[in-house]
Structure 1
């Protein structure tokens, strides 16, 4: 009986040792596997236009409404690279329902101005999320440690919602406002409607400007499940980063019939253009 107990004890000790040594390796591999997939998508996005490093000129702004032209001049796109890319790190909180708890996350976002697109990779351990819009095609993947898929969306609804996010987040890489896939309609002296069409996917939204001529709000309609709901993105403050005036904080709110529901907020913790 003592022998059996000793053997059993040794077995559990061995299992514990294996767990202690294998768990960090498994987590490291999960990060590696997830990041490899994200980087592959980002590389694909960035390679769609190449990188000629041609600079933005006054001629590139000529087709824009005055309020948008003044904005892109104010934030510093003149003389910047036309087809470079932005890589942005974020830290924030997200929740799925009004009565659910907030979950902290960190994220890395890759953005392209020509063509307009993004790849967003977020981690709220042990949940990994990849969201993207490339050439009008959207996709969302949620997984446990990058191994077990918890949700995956790739449909016309996803394409439209991802493209709407792409449009609203042009403030993060304002060179994208010059893209000819966007058409403009002036609403009044402080707001303008933008419509973007990419590969048979289209979405429209309204940008609102403050007294300083900076965008402080974006309103559109996006899918939430199977229903289309009003959606508002707000900007709190701008800072100079990589020679551009870009937002420092963002939040996003669903404007539902039963009331507003803020579901996302973040701060920009690192920003570069290459």
Structure 2
């Protein structure tokens, strides 16, 4: 009887120790995925080619008229051309899959100009368990990874479809970092006074979409058919996708959007799966 009690106490002690270790692990600022994100980003920054010069009227003279109007509306003319962009989203409602509850997430992303590259990190928790995600597009390869409890990979999507989806996401954000819109790997076609089509081509893959502008010249939406969606059963399908931005505010002479929504246009209805507010955008420019 006494031996049985000792075993129970020992087992209880082990369980308590395991729970404490798990809680400590969950609350540590360190995680393998976050460390990987920082390392990849640091390497990309160290290898990027600085962009020189100022935006000029001549630079934008061959762009569609609504894109030219956007450059002028936002105040880029006469300002330094950026080498990369860092965007902070500290107030985001995020839905991982339809019919799942919303998550509050923190989202950080880096975009680069000399070659189309994008690295993003999601940080949140589900029922108290850390969930982290990382999106990357480098050297023509796109991937999307989700990790729970800092140790267990839920998904790690790769392949040609992901390469194209990641490339078109970079295109959708090109006017947030407009030096990218001037690169040789992006081509433009005017549709009308408030719409323009853009195509990005890299490593033999092309993706395109349509930008919509308001009457002032502010870019308010990008829509494409070149993104793939994976459902909870692992089925992959092409779904129309939009990025919607607004709430333009001026900072240091430049107007930036402060809100961004990402929307899947399913046949059953639209899903706003990313709803970000209070966006902060910073650029690296040559000295």
Q: Do the two structures share a fold, i.e. TM-score over 0.5?
A: yes
Deviation at 1:181, TM superposition (A): 1.1
**Higher RCO (C-alpha under 8 Å, 6+ residues apart):** 2
Give 1:164 deviation, angstroms: 1.2
C-alpha RMSD of matched pairs (Å): 2.4
Specify the alignment match of 2:273 in structure 1: 263
Give the Cα separation in 1 of the matches to 2:77 and 2:270.
37
* 1:39 corresponding residue in structure 2: 38
The Cα of 1:88 is off from its aligned counterpart by 1.4
Question: How do 1:245-260 and structure 2 match up within 5 A?
Answer: 245-260=255-270
- Superposition pairs of residues 5-84 of structure 1, within 5 angstroms: 5-6=5-6, 8-9=8-9, 12-13=12-13, 15-17=15-17, 19-20=19-20, 22-27=21-26, 31-84=30-83
Match of 1:227 in 2: 237
- Aligned ranges 1:27-176 → 2 under 5 Å: 27=26, 31-90=30-89, 91-125=91-125, 126-176=130-180
Unaligned runs of 5+ in 1: none
Kindly state the Cα deviation for residue 11 of structure 1 after the two structures are TM-superposed: 5.1
Query: How many residues are treated as equivalent by the alignment?
Result: 273
In 1, Cα distance between the equivalents of 2:169 and 2:278? 17
For residues 166 and 138 of structure 1, the distance between their equivalents in structure 2, rounded to whole angstroms, comes to 11
Structure 2 alignment gaps of length 5 or more: 231-235
CA distance in 2, matches of 1:178, 1:247: 20
Mapped to 1, the partners of 2:123 and 2:221 lie a distance apart of 26
1:269–1:217 Cα change, 3 Å: closer
TM-score (norm 1): 0.88
Q: By percentage of residues, which structure has more helix?
A: 1
Tell me the residue number matched to 1:211.
215
**C-alpha contact (below 8 Å) 1:136/1:198 kept by paired residues:** yes
Structure 1 distance, partners of 2:36, 2:110, is: 13
